[in-house]
Structure 1
Amino acid sequence: MPFPSKSGLKITQIDVKDVRFPTSLGGHGSDALHTDPNYSCAYVTTTTEGGRQGFGLTFTCGRGTEIIVLTIRSMKKFVVGRNAADIFADFAGFWRQITNDSQMRWLGPEKGVVHLAVAAILNSLWDLWARLENKPLWRLLVDLTPEELVSTIDFRYITDVITKDEAVQLLKSKLPRKEERVKELTAKGYPAYTTQVGWMGYSDELVKELCAKYLGLGFKHFKVKVGLNLKDDLRRCTAVRKYIGEDKTLMVDANQAWSVGEAVEWMKKLAHLKPLWIEEPTSPDDVLGHAAISKALKPYGIGVATGEMCANRVMFKQFLQSGGMQYCQIDSARIGSVNEILSVYLMAEKLKVKVCPHAGGVGLCEMVQHLQLWDYASVSATMEGRLIEYVDQQHEHFYDPCVVENARYMAPKLPGYSTQMFPETLQRFSYPKGTEWQRMFKDGTFPEPDEAELVNV
């Protein structure tokens, strides 16, 4: 597939907004460590001289979003004035340039705030490319030749697991029946699980009501947040198991709450409820700790899932090599956008680890569906033991929201990465000047922004 013509694709503007939703008011998204999240994002619009636009974002939990916004503003210099067609033709080269500036890399490298900022910018460029090709992103990825797709990935630091040539051969080996798999995705979609029943801040009555709702919607896999109080976890998980039945699948998520030994002992006490996995049992950086937990819980039939806060492809490489994860949870905005995520999928396929993406609020569900559809069509060629997380939040703010029917993500049809928000949403929820935030400041629902939060105003 030829890369786009350069005509009209000089990038002239990058706009970024701090967008926040007051989800803490309802306990939505609450877990053992993130007890009061206001689901938010740094939202990027990239515009070319011909008027074409791409939209991207990186997810946050509220406070601190202004830091990512400021970092994106400081990175405009690496993008504005470049031709988007040149970027796409050497995407791996551009990726290395923007993630490894000789001075800014000291703030990472390839991790933390700078990597979250890079993800938002690059997500907007991938959205732009898909729009130029008039395809949803998953189909753009599927239609790239193995050589073209591999050309978007920086293989530095991971060639001890997979090289460019190996990646090309892996993709070529999956070409037979690829179009059959695409037709299947278009007709039937991809299986999902729900976390909506399990937020820690929800009342017992609401949990019961939501279990009934999602059973009625066809869900067979349910995740519950755990990690603060064992007695409470036993009560809540026992209740969910009762509500969903023994024939459905239960997963639990500690969101990094425990030490290694604590994780093992805690999960032994929940093992009779037959959880499929324990997610993020300890520090997201502790590769060997996850490996020890995995080994200890294997006799109980409990796997370890992690990755939503894994910093980069190198950390993923080590988790995959060590046996520290049985379920690899890529996140569409945590590491360096699609480019780096593709490398994780390829490593996971070579090492035969299932990928079950992390999703949730503010566009994550919209984005990860594209990645997992590509994986089925072009990489793993299987859905066995694989699911996409689904959380029913903020979809109404997007032009092309994810569609989940009978607990399956239906394949997106519109061009792009499903990342464009409505102007009305930006007008209401941009922080701190949006009309909803001004109203909530005025009535005392939230305190006025401090000096740091006003840095981008």
Structure 2
Amino acid sequence: MPRISAVDVVDVRFPVTVAEPGGMSCAVYVVLHTDTALSGHGLSFPTRAEAAACVDAARYIAGLLVGLDVDGLAGSLGHTYRRLVGDNRSGADADVGRYGATAVLNAVWDLMARFARKPLWRLLSEMAPTDLVAACDFRDQSGVLAEHDAVEMLEWLAPTRQERIRHLARVGYPAYTTAPARLGLSDNELRRWCRDAVTDGWHSIKVEVGRSFDRNKRRLAMARDELGPDGTLLLEANGVWEVPEAIAHLSELAQFGPLRVERPTRPEDIAGHATIRTAVAPVAVTAGEQCRDALAVKRMLDAGALDYLQVDACRSLSVNEIVPVLLIAARSGVAVSYRGGGAGLCGPVQHLAMLDFICISGSLIGRLIEHVDVSQQHFSNPPIVQPAWYRLPAGPGYGARMRTESLVTYRYPDGTYWAGAGSRGR
């Protein structure tokens, strides 16, 4: 039986040149090696300032797994989670520790799926409800979602899982593209992006908005013109507005028929989101990716702060925290939107969306997965996305295995790209 024999933790940084010349997208990349050819791969996405410290945290946390039997690990996923995040030395309650632990836990789930020779969505969908709940973190959440309630929710949809799997195999999971959304694009470039997206078959696109009234109106008019009256227009504000500013902007931009706006103000301002949501309806508010667990999500829901919950597969502590979040959203009747903006994030997030539809919410109404083409070529099994639809993943794992040549090129600071950055003017 294979055992975890070694770990690699790599600081990987991809250059960002479209909207932020000279910028970089940072990732903590963890590989759990075994004494066979089997390995597990996981990612998280810290800020540039945190990246080096997050790599150190991940290296320490992953080291706790060395020597463990993979089969035994598969039977004790909840215990393993608590061991990794409950060790005070790992700092898993701080941002740095959480990013490190997230990458390690994502690698653990990838390893489990590869060990079972299944895509992660299938591994999770075939788990007994009691086993899936036992693998997750329901500590301190008895007032939010008790474990027995979670089991009952999963059991309720279990008899019809195969129907939804067949639907995904036949049709796919709905998606939107963020290719045209970058604020750094000129007006002409934005129009061309939108036109190309529509030509390629996309009917849902997301466009960034900023502080300039005139520029926002001009760009959304272009996007709506290219989309036509029936296309779905989504907005990304990145938290740049104060609450009164957000209300003023969105009241003016409502004429272009956006379905929803992401992060209209600072993520931590729950009351502000609630105020905006009330003021700008029927434009919906999407938020919550900063929420670390179901308790934080419940606070936003109780405050009336969102219409759509946004989930980030590489910010929460992997499947162990995300499944309870999906359950509380489903019980509250709130649709989940899946962020795919990080390098390689589209791969893992598709598995969570499929799991939610198959086992948890049973619904596709209002659900969309973000699709971003950037950096997908660096991963060995990127999502198959036929415009507007993610296809059901068939390969084993969680979708985060990076190509060797990309690691050699973009590992920081000694990858071939960064080693030559001085001569290019980093």
| TM class by smaller structure | over 0.9
**In the TM superposition, what is the alpha-carbon distance from 1:44 to its structure 2 partner?**
0.5
Which of 250, 253, 260 is equivalent to 1:267? 250
Distance 1:84 1:261 in 2: 53
Matched with 1:65 is 51
Distance 1:162 1:302 in 2: 29
Distance 2:144 2:47 in 1: 33
**In the TM superposition, what is the alpha-carbon distance from 1:310 to its structure 2 partner?**
2.8
- Determine if contact 1:8/1:48 at 8 Å carries over to the other structure: yes
Deviation string, structure 1 residues 79-102 (Cα, Å, up to 9, x no partner)? 223333333322222222222223
**SS state of the match for residue 340, structure 2?**
coil
Distance 1:263 1:155 in 2: 35
Matched with 1:316 is 297
Which of 132, 136, 149 is equivalent to 1:166? 149
Which of 186, 189, 195 is equivalent to 2:178? 195
**In the TM superposition, what is the alpha-carbon distance from 1:76 to its structure 2 partner?**
3.2
In the alignment, structure 1 residue 131 sits paired with structure 2 residue 124: no
Matched with 2:306 is 325
- Determine if contact 2:50/2:96 at 8 Å carries over to the other structure: no
Distance 2:292 2:249 in 1: 26
Distance 2:243 2:142 in 1: 30
Matched with 2:124 is 141
Matched with 1:277 is 260
Deviation string, structure 1 residues 174-204 (Cα, Å, up to 9, x no partner)? 1232101111111221010111101001122
In the alignment, structure 1 residue 430 sits paired with structure 2 residue 408: no
- Determine if contact 2:120/2:397 at 8 Å carries over to the other structure: yes
Which of 147, 161, 186 is equivalent to 1:178? 161
Matched with 1:214 is 197
Matched with 2:374 is 393
Matched with 2:330 is 349
**In the TM superposition, what is the alpha-carbon distance from 1:61 to its structure 2 partner?**
5.2
Matched with 2:24 is 38
- Determine if contact 2:129/2:151 at 8 Å carries over to the other structure: yes
**SS state of the match for residue 425, structure 1?**
helix
Deviation string, structure 1 residues 403-436 (Cα, Å, up to 9, x no partner)? 1113100111111011111110011111111111
Deviation string, structure 1 residues 340-364 (Cα, Å, up to 9, x no partner)? 1111000101111000111123111
Distance 1:430 1:177 in 2: 44
Q: What is the identity, as a one-letter code, of the residue corresponding to 1:130?
A: A
Residues 20 and 102 of structure 1, relative CA distance in 2, 3 Å threshold: closer
In the alignment, structure 1 residue 99 sits paired with structure 2 residue 85: yes
**SS state of the match for residue 104, structure 2?**
helix
Aligned residue pairs: how many?
Answer: 426
Distance 2:423 2:239 in 1: 36
- Determine if contact 1:220/1:249 at 8 Å carries over to the other structure: yes
Mapping 1:441-456, distance limit 5 Å: 441-444=422-425, 446=426
Which of 32, 36, 40 is equivalent to 1:50? 36
- Determine if contact 1:360/1:392 at 8 Å carries over to the other structure: no
Distance 1:416 1:77 in 2: 21
Moved more, 89-98 or 37-46: 89-98
Distance 2:2 2:235 in 1: 49
**SS state of the match for residue 314, structure 1?**
helix
**SS state of the match for residue 329, structure 1?**
strand
Residues 275 and 228 of structure 1, relative CA distance in 2, 3 Å threshold: same
Matched with 1:451 is none
- Determine if contact 2:287/2:310 at 8 Å carries over to the other structure: yes
**SS state of the match for residue 381, structure 1?**
coil
Which of 8, 13, 25 is equivalent to 2:6? 13
Distance 1:67 1:229 in 2: 36
In the alignment, structure 1 residue 205 sits paired with structure 2 residue 200: no
Mapping 1:282-301, distance limit 5 Å: 282-298=265-281, 301=282
Distance 2:258 2:339 in 1: 17
Distance 1:103 1:431 in 2: 25
**In the TM superposition, what is the alpha-carbon distance from 1:377 to its structure 2 partner?**
0.9
**SS state of the match for residue 46, structure 1?**
strand
Q: What is the identity, as a one-letter code, of the residue corresponding to 1:46?
A: L
Distance 1:362 1:103 in 2: 29
Distance 1:63 1:196 in 2: 26
**SS state of the match for residue 159, structure 2?**
coil
Which of 199, 204, 213 is equivalent to 1:230? 213
Q: List runs of 5+ in structure 2 lacking aligned partners.
A: none
Residues 371 and 248 of structure 1, relative CA distance in 2, 3 Å threshold: same
TM-score (norm 2): 0.96
In the alignment, structure 1 residue 256 sits paired with structure 2 residue 239: yes
Distance 1:213 1:407 in 2: 13
Q: What is the identity, as a one-letter code, of the residue corresponding to 2:5?
A: T
Q: List runs of 5+ in structure 1 lacking aligned partners.
A: 1-6, 447-457
Matched with 1:22 is 15
In the alignment, structure 1 residue 155 sits paired with structure 2 residue 148: no
**In the TM superposition, what is the alpha-carbon distance from 1:37 to its structure 2 partner?**
4.4
**SS state of the match for residue 92, structure 1?**
helix
Deviation string, structure 1 residues 360-383 (Cα, Å, up to 9, x no partner)? 231110110011011111111111
Distance 1:178 1:433 in 2: 47
TM-score (norm 1): 0.89
Matched with 1:453 is none
